[in-house]
Amino acid sequence: MDKGYYNITINDQSKFEFNAEQINDFDFIEEKDGHFHILKENKAFRAEVVHTNFSNKTFTIKVNGNSYQVKIADHFDHLVNQLGLSVVNTLKITDVKAPMPGLVLDVSVKVGQLVKKGDGLLILEAMKMENVIKSSGEGIVKAIHIDYGKAVDKGQLLIEME
């Protein structure tokens, strides 16, 4: 892959190569809240950025109501892969356990919600102090095993992730 080119993979199937000039042929107008109006060869498209993962250069985009998983790679990504240096740099979490005994004051997440590293998951009161339990990585909430106002023991499973 030459410098200035980008490989774009859509839904892990369709692959395209673009250079900066070809990308500039698209007319993008940002509307609001991640929505865009796009013109290409006298055709109009309405696009919405649903989810972004900048560390993996992956995006979920809706175009005219259809959802697409898009991965973008440049010549640096190609070199890293050639040298065998590609690594996953996001930590996936599976379970969130109570770091101490306490009382659940609030649960800030719902089943099916995507959480990122540092997101607040719940508030646990221990020794008259409110402790915000934060996510140590990325994941999707699979199940919540606690309720507001209930006591928990150290090591008890609070939230199950996938």
pTM, rounded to two decimals: 0.46
Does residue 84 surpass a pLDDT of 80? no
Across all residues in the chain, what is the average pLDDT? 85
Split into its structural domains, the chain has a count of: 2
Higher-confidence position of 41 and 83: 41
Report pLDDT digits (tens) over 86-124: 655 556 777 899 999 999 999 999 999 999 888 999 999
Considering the domain architecture, whether residues 140 and 71 belong to the same structural domain is answered as: no
Considering the domain architecture, whether residues 78 and 99 belong to the same structural domain is answered as: no
Q: Could you tell me the end-to-end alpha-carbon distance of the chain, in angstroms, rounded to an integer?
A: 35
Distance CA 72, CA 86 (A): 15
Considering the domain architecture, whether residues 109 and 58 belong to the same structural domain is answered as: no
CB atoms closer than 10 angstroms to residue 122: 22
**Domain-ending residue, one of 16, 51, 82:** 82
Does residue 75 surpass a pLDDT of 90? no
Residue 87 covered by a domain: no
Confidence of residue 50 (pLDDT cuts 50, 70, 90): confident
Structural domain harbouring 45: 5-82
Element (H, E) at 22: helix 20-24
**Domain-ending residue, one of 30, 56, 82:** 82
